[in-house]
Amino acid sequence: MADRINVGLVLPDVLGTYGDDGNALVLRQRARMRGLDAEIHRINYGDPVPETMDVYTMGGGEDTAQILASEHLIADGGLTRAAHAGAPILAICAGLQVLGESFRASGRIVDGVGLIDATTAGMQRRAIGEVASTPTRAGITAELTEPLTGFENHLGATILGPGATPLGKLTTGMGNADEAALLDVVDGSSQRAAEGAVQGNVIATYMHGPVLARNPQLADLLLACALGVQLSELEPLELPSVDRLRMERLA
């Protein structure tokens, strides 16, 4: 197992509206608590995206920020190459939409990076409030066993294609799309309780919080993937304050 973790924080200057930068901080801290050397590398708008990071995180932003992020990531290609090389990627909210096939922003359809088989249009009403789900344990998330919890705040109706699987099955909240957005979807019934997406080594979700602060098992799964080991091989961390926070939110 490697003794160093490099966390790539992707475009925090344009996709940093909702405090999702905190996910990179959680990864760094949980790695350091296990005696690993861990550093965060900020990859700002206009910077080339290095393909050498062990794990990548990207957050949420508004329409203009989404368009800028998508155009930059498509033109640069570094994140796509890193994904194809097997690096785990966590994308939040607008990050989910940007990594999809297309999304609606500023009144038009914008091409996404194409790492997730998903398209995003608009919802009739905003999804806002607590959201919780049971992990589907699809693909890279097979070892997840604990409920997922976060805070959703979006107007995007994300429909998953056959290449992607939901990250979680909703128990609270709206998730990826409202009923109106699913009316014309052939397999709409299977997506009514969908939250987030998993495809290859990409994990995407609408959960803010930051999501990794509220879901330490998910954080450790990303660390394990970055280290090339199983989640069960990581030394457990005893953090009672985090456990209390989870109990409060899940209640």
- The sign one gets for the Cα dihedral 192, 198, 199, 205 is positive
* Coil/strand/helix, residue 182: helix
Q: What is the largest CA-CA distance in the chain?
A: 51
Q: In what order do the strands lie in the sheet with 197-199?
A: 37-43, 4-10, 55-58, 89-92, 202-205, 197-199
Token output for 222:
């990303």
Q: Which helix (H) or strand (E) holds 42?
A: strand 37-43
Are residues 60 and 98 in contact, defined by beta-carbon separation less than 8 angstroms? no
- Pick from 217, 189, 192, 190: which is nearest to 203 by CA? 217
For residues 39 and 42, what is the distance between their CA atoms, to the nearest angstrom?
Answer: 10
For residues 12 and 95, what is the distance between their CA atoms, to the nearest angstrom?
Answer: 11
- Active-site residue, from 72, 154, 208, 225: 208
For residues 66 and 64, what is the distance between their CA atoms, to the nearest angstrom?
Answer: 5
Q: Tokens 């109706």 map to which residue? A: 157
Token output for 101:
């096939």
Whether residue 84 lies in the annotated active site: no
* Coil/strand/helix, residue 241: helix
For residues 46 and 25, what is the distance between their CA atoms, to the nearest angstrom?
Answer: 22
Annotated binding residue 126: yes
Catalytic residues: 93, 208
Annotated binding-site residues for substrate read 126
Annotated binding-site residues read 126
